Amino acid sequence: MIPIEWLRGLDESEGGYAALLDEAGSLAVAAFKLAKARCQVWATPTEVPTSRELRAAARVIAERVGLSRVPDISFLARECEANGLLVL
């Protein structure tokens, strides 16, 4: 699916963020998927999100699914790295 369509569907779907989190298995991986899709739809697209973009995506997901706390960026980045996901 094209990233812009995926992002739109995520926003428009009831429970879309919860499904993303469930499918990803962790907040870090879900945040990586969201951050990467966002990076791909910019005027100058990129494939690898920064740690700042990862943290922002984690906050959006947490807000949408009702999590009260988002882990710090070093934890999120380490979890991404452990899953083979590159973050700048």
pLDDT attached to residue 43? 79
Amino acid found at 47? E
What tens digit of pLDDT does each residue of 20-53 get?
Answer: 999 999 999 999 999 999 999 987 888 899 999 9
The reported pTM is: 0.91
69: DSSP letter = -
Helix, strand, coil abundance in the chain, percent, nearest 5: 65, 0, 35
pLDDT in tens, 1-15: 688 898 998 988 889
H/E element holding 25? none
Q: For the segment 44-74, what is each residue's pLDDT rounded down to a tens digit?
A: 888 899 999 999 999 999 999 999 999 999 9
